[in-house]
Amino acid sequence: MLRDFTPHVVGVNRLSNSRGDKMGATTVAIERDEDEVTASTQKRGEGGAWRVLDMAKKHRSRVSWAFRSRFSSLMAIFVTAAIILVVSTATRGGNGALREAIEVFPVRDLGKEKACDLFNGRWVYESSTRPLYSERSCRFMSDQSACEKFGRKNLKYQGWRWQPHGCNLPSFNATNLLERLRGKRLAYVGDSLNRNQWISMVCLLDSLIPDHLKSVETTGSLSSFKAKEYNASVEFYWSPLLVESNSDDPVHHRIPDRIIRAQSIEKHGKHWMGADILVFNSYLWWRRNKMKVLWGSFEDKWGIYKEIDILRSYEMALRTWAEWLEFHVDTQKTRLFFMSISPTHFWGDEWGIDSSQNCYNETEPIAKEGYWGRGSDRRMMQLVESTIEGLTKRGVNVQILNITQLSEYRKDGHPSIFRKQWESVTEEQLANPSSYADCIHWCLPGVPDVWNELLYTYILFR
């Protein structure tokens, strides 16, 4: 039942720009160093012989100054050409990729830095370029996200693209991404929202690959999409609380009395070991007041259990996750990302309708800039930020992809009742569709495609 996921009213931190807070902006730029050449002056000598020597010095000084000036000019030209060559090489093959790369990661112009916050912007309806794939044509579409298949008639949710303020996202190019992933592993690790994003990525790549050269294999908690021609894999690993828990079964995990082993992650971590790109998330399953923490194993009858405040238990799990990354990830090989909160839309009073209503029957995004729903706990993302800051100080870089604000606007993008129902729907529920609407996950094509466009931008252009 979806009631298991009902969030509570939460506090405030600095991640969003709503209610006076500024968004935790990611600012990226390619900078060009400018050389400055200063000519030194010589003192004038006196007397005949000294005057001759002084003239010789001046001559040498002029020659030296001219040489240094020309050398500096040549170096400036060389540096500029090198930057253009690097950007051109990194983006060759895309549709206008060089222009797009410069727009997203602009050059510092005459000391005035132009920068782009990819996560701050607006939704623009553009049915001529959206959706990026067809729900029906994606062989690996999930019934949890196939809203058209399960009866949704209004498909406008598929036609929106994200427009950052001041720049454009590069066009998603599946060939470029597959080339970058050649011989590599991209792994999503987390809960069903990370699985939502994984399916989106699989569908974005699916149409490019012939049927006999692609497959999806599932073993336990690990599902892997294989692009055989590229020797590449795009994987999803079910680990909703990051650390070991009694909800780790990928199918049977609806357990009301959740328990974590806050200091144990090796059971999961061994499946991520060696991945070239790791994309983590963990929030949805922490939405409760307290979490039961176990010291000992689940098989140990002498294990110690204690209920701990949710912020403290989340912090404990993040610390274990961070320590695993620090000691088990090759930072020269592996790139690390953490997805911020994926928002829910359970309370209609937040956008001006009756409080008993939710995302059911919503067909338009929220227009109010900076809108923030009460289901997104900024305090928890502050814990993620501080954990990642600590990792950075220890030489492990994790990039937060701040999808929260842009996703907050999309009350229209959830499956609502248009998905496979895993449990029989009662007559009472049918009479009140809002009572069983899924306002957590996302229809595909849809919002998670933009999350992957942001990930694509960082993988190829950052």
Reference 246, options 224, 272, 267; nearest CA is 267
Catalytic residue among 268, 345, 414, 441: 441
Measure Cα distances from 138 to 2, 69, 146, 202 in Å: 27, 60, 10, 8
Asked if the bond preceding 445 is cis, omega within 30° of 0, the reply is yes
Kindly give the interhelix angle for 97-104 and 447-461, rounded to the nearest 10 degrees. 90
- Please tell me which residue in 206, 248, 377, 438 is annotated as part of the active site: 438
Question: Does the active-site annotation cover 211?
Answer: no
441 is catalytic: yes
Q: Is 19 left (phi over 0), alpha (psi -120 to 50) or beta?
A: left
* Nearest in space to 310 (alpha carbons), one of 284, 333, 332: 284
| Active-site entry in 145, 192, 247, 313 | 192
> Looking at the DSSP assignment, which residues form a beta bridge with residue 189?
237, 280
Alpha-carbon distance of 366 to 338, in angstroms, equals 25
Catalytic residues: 192, 438, 441
